Structure 1
Amino acid sequence: MSTCLAFVDGAPASKLSLLDRGLHYGDGLFETIAVRTVPHRNIADYPLWGNHYQRLLQGCERLGIPCPSQGLLEDEIRSFFSHFSLPLPSIIKLILTRGSAGRGYSPRDNTSTRILIGYPWPNYPKCFWTEGITVTISDIYLSRNPYLAGIKHLNRLEQVMAASRMGAFDEALMCDMNGDVIEGTRTNLFAVINNELQTPLLNEVGIKGVMRSFILSLCKHEGIPVKENAIRQDELIRASEIFVCNGVLGIWPVKQVLSTPLRVGPTTLRLANLIKEKIVC
């Protein structure tokens, strides 16, 4: 994929209006969708697609952007794959902006622009799944805003800055101004603390990732207790297990936080194996 493979509003395109509000203000949402191997390349059959659409719908309701129907997006993704003959697996990035308008923050028209972009599957080292990754704790803080919490809006400067400063570490964990650990630059966080599986509460800050939601449902189905609550840095350092997750990579165990080593523990392995049974990662 040396050239940009893109659809805009359901048709092949290589240009976007310079007046698009996504470009000017980050006025929009996005979903990064892992398209793996399923019959007929039918996006509706993907286990996480429903989670992606529900988060997109919630984001549209929060921002007041018209949300395309689930059926329309499924048809366009199928057409996208057919038109470009994309290999499997591949990554589809779905971007929804408020469309084009003149100067000024206040929205004028009740419109939206749909963008699909295809990317090759990332070539992560296999040891990230088996041996784990190293993580640092970023000095870039996340802002608390309950109106934007949970949704995947286009404003990602905090993550850009944190990722650019993580050096030789494989991922950077980010905290809010209270010192609570929230998430990674591209992942959600789970930790076993005092023999209890925990994940940060994301009601006022952070992204409610589709894999995080899937793992919470999986834990409920499998009878694995899990708690959503605040996790402070000192608590995280004392954790017996830590793993990060997202919809593309599945689960990565954490083998080191700053200079503190960790083992890949039984809870991490159990959940990773359960996900492999249901979603090929």
Structure 2
Amino acid sequence: MSVVALIDGEAGDALAVDNRGLAYGDGVFRTLLVADGVALHVDDHLAALRADAARLALDPPDADALRRDTAALAAGQSRAVVKWLLVRRSAGRGYAASTGAATRIVLRTAAPRHPATHWTQGVVARLAALRLGEQPALAGIKHLNRLEQVLAARELGAGVDELLMCDHRDRLVGGLRSNLFWVREGRLLTPALTRCGVAGTMRGRVLRLAAGLGVPLDEVEADAAALAQADEAFVTNALIGIWPLRRLDATALPAPGALTRRLQRELRHPLLT
């Protein structure tokens, strides 16, 4: 996979060997979709990155610099992915952080390609055996330590498009690389992310969109059995927008459901085909 990188605004492909992201996962990141030369929803991603950085006591990101770097890498790209990383600068060995300063890394890679049926007919998910650990201090943050997801990804197999993950109390958290929503009796539901999980920017957009449309919604604690009783369900992230769920393990779900279709239309997210 070809990667183009800007490190603090300069083209490069090397970091210090004592980099705290490498040593400790000490940093945060966000992933943006580029369509027709423009990175989508930059303001949402900046707000999320700023909030995540504050949780780790990292200095606020330079919004103007991120915009410049992103525009430079997005220019001329019909479809691409831009990834922002803030990695705490090295300042001596040991776990204790002695600085809030961060290295700004902006990467560009090719966008993944998926069949159009993922949006129009839905995808197949399975419940992951691996359970997510609870750490409220990190809940919601997109931090650099993704080892749980690396381990869970081993469970992906042929015919499975996404994994749904639970915590150690068997409460739904979200997808391996997505956030989860389902509909029950006209109410939109999504897992509360107070103990673990990532609050994706597309999750936030969907919540705001649903509220603006007058759709009743709740962030809840629920186990996987709730999905067997759902009228419809879908997963979201910044790259895919909304994928309806048509099956979870042996449970078939209507896909796309009426509310899912409505949210897809209102979202107007470009399909990666």
Counterparts of 1:16-35 in structure 2 under 5 Å?
16-35=15-34
Partner of 2:218: 227
TM-score (norm 1): 0.91
Does structure 1 residue 270 correspond to structure 2 residue 262? yes
* C-alpha RMSD over aligned residues: 1.5
Deviation per CA, 1:63-86, whole angstroms, max 9, x where unpaired? 01112221221122223345xxx5
- Secondary structure of the corresponding residue to residue 33 of structure 2: strand
Post-superposition offset of 1:248? 0.7
Post-superposition offset of 1:263? 1.2
Does structure 1 residue 191 correspond to structure 2 residue 182? yes
Does structure 1 residue 129 correspond to structure 2 residue 119? yes
Does the CA contact (< 8 Å) of 1:37 and 1:89 recur in 2? yes
Q: Structure 1 vs Structure 2: percent identity of aligned residues?
A: 36
Counterparts of 1:169-188 in structure 2 under 5 Å?
169-188=160-179
Aligned partner of 1:74 among 67, 75, 80: 67
Aligned partner of 2:206 among 191, 201, 215: 215
Does the CA contact (< 8 Å) of 1:31 and 1:93 recur in 2? yes
- Secondary structure of the corresponding residue to residue 115 of structure 1: strand
Deviation per CA, 1:74-105, whole angstroms, max 9, x where unpaired? 122223345xxx52221001111002233211
Does the CA contact (< 8 Å) of 1:93 and 1:118 recur in 2? yes
Partner of 2:252: 261
Does the CA contact (< 8 Å) of 1:196 and 1:226 recur in 2? yes
Higher helix fraction: Structure 1 or Structure 2? 1
Does the CA contact (< 8 Å) of 2:30 and 2:83 recur in 1? yes
Counterparts of 1:1-281 in structure 2 under 5 Å?
3-37=2-36, 41=38, 43=39, 46=40, 48-81=41-74, 86-168=76-158, 169-264=160-255, 265-276=257-268, 279-281=269-271
- Secondary structure of the corresponding residue to residue 49 of structure 2: helix
Letter of the aligned partner of 1:64 in structure 2?
A
Deviation per CA, 1:115-154, whole angstroms, max 9, x where unpaired? 1111111111111111111100011111221211111000
TM-score (norm 2): 0.94
Q: Which runs of 5+ in 1 are unaligned?
A: none
Bigger drift between 264-273 and 69-78 goes to 69-78
Letter of the aligned partner of 2:258 in structure 1?
P
Partners of 1:28 and 1:191 lie apart in 2 by: 31
- Secondary structure of the corresponding residue to residue 209 of structure 2: helix
Partners of 2:250 and 2:9 lie apart in 1 by: 48
- Secondary structure of the corresponding residue to residue 139 of structure 1: strand
Deviation per CA, 1:250-275, whole angstroms, max 9, x where unpaired? 10001101011111110111111111
Query: How many pairs align?
Result: 269
Letter of the aligned partner of 2:125 in structure 1?
V
Q: Which runs of 5+ in 2 are unaligned?
A: none
- Secondary structure of the corresponding residue to residue 131 of structure 2: coil
Does the CA contact (< 8 Å) of 1:65 and 1:112 recur in 2? yes
Does the CA contact (< 8 Å) of 2:174 and 2:191 recur in 1? yes
Higher strand fraction: Structure 1 or Structure 2? 2
Post-superposition offset of 1:109? 2.8
